Amino acid sequence: MQESPELVRDAADTRGAVIEAGAVGKTYRAAKNRSVEALADISLSIRDGEFLSVVGPSGCGKSTFLTIVAGLVPASTGTIAVAGKQVTEPSIDVGIVFQSALLLDWRTVLENVMVPIEVMGLPRKEYRQRALDLLEMCGLSAFAHHYPWQLSGGMQRRAAICRALVFDPPILLLDEPFGALDAMTRDYMNVELMRIWQRNRKTVMLITHSIQEAVLLSDRVVVMSPAPGRILKIIDVDIPRPRSLEVIASPRFGAIANEIRAFFSADMFLAGGAKAQ
């Protein structure tokens, strides 16, 4: 017997969870006093050190959920807690990388990475070395004093990741950071992101349209319905780490990707939603 999407909840052990969403919903006010429901009844726990991806069709509320977790917009219903504290505003526990690198053209790469340090009023001298270490880890040390317009798209994304990590937040939120890149550069950036995560073991939530990217990077994948976004299923990615691009050709990778892909049929979009499994 199938259950309705709004009843699908994360059944994972919540011990050690650093992000906890309880029945989160979001409704926006539209023109002529109409309302648009973007999210409905999202209940999810993300464990310490976990890499979790959220996939779903355009407009399903994936990025909205990320901005709620980040404290950038409030939930209309339900609760969000990060590191045990209810989210009411942006937190120093959270670093964010958006769809665009959002680097300041008039500042060097190093100066861009240091922006959060200046905004937070942290000791510049102390964190400058951390910024340089991050740039070295991401292969950008030779470009520390270049300007963003002198970098490739992939290099700009790496600089944005360095900026999000410079104040050492335990949680990293990624909103389709590689969506605008070509396929080969995106593959390279996925490998780089895996390497950075393996070294730092941050808790990561990635928003993506790419099923391949989600399976390659993640411990679990959250599948969302069309708007209003609901959790259809949470799928474990039981592929050993460390992973390389070669794992994409494995039978197990294909099976997991096909399980996710099965939710996104033409019939689902025509019906405006799908039934949970």
Q: Give the domains, in start order, of the chain with CATH numbers.
A: 48-71+88-264 (3.40.50.300)
- The whole-number pLDDT of residue 271 equals 47
Q: How confident is the model at residue 14 (pLDDT cuts 50, 70, 90)?
A: low
The 3-state secondary structure of the chain, one letter per residue? CCCCHHHCCCCCCCCCEEEEEEEEEEEEECHHHCEEEEEEEEEEEEECCCEEEEECCCCCCHHHHHHHHCCCCCCCEEEEEECCEECCCCCCCEEEECCCCCCCCCCCHHHHHCHHHHHHCCCHHHHHHHHHHHHHHCCCHHHCCCCHHHCCHHHHHHHHHHHHHCCCCCEEEEECCCCCCCHHHHHHHHHHHHHHHHHHCCEEEEEECCHHHHHHHCCEEEEECCCCECEEEEEECCCCCCCCHHHHHCHHHHHHHHHHHCCCCHHHHHHCCCCCC
* Residue 5 scores a pLDDT above 50: no
Q: How confident is the model at residue 8 (pLDDT cuts 50, 70, 90)?
A: low
Q: What is the per-residue pLDDT across 81-101, written as a single tens digit (0 to 9) for each?
A: 998 899 999 888 999 999 888
CA 61 from chain centre, in angstroms, equals 13
Q: What is the per-residue pLDDT across 118-138, written as a single tens digit (0 to 9) for each?
A: 999 999 999 999 999 999 988
| CA separation for the pair 90, 166 (Å, rounded) | 16
Average pLDDT over every residue of 17-43: 91
**Residue closest to 56 by CA, chosen among 235, 223, 237, 277:** 223
* Residue 272 scores a pLDDT above 60: no
Q: Please give the C-alpha separations between residue 218 and each of 208, 215, 241, in angstroms, as whole numbers.
A: 11, 6, 10
Amino acid, res. 254: G
Average pLDDT over every residue of 241-268: 90
Average pLDDT over every residue of 170-182: 90
- The whole-number pLDDT of residue 180 equals 78
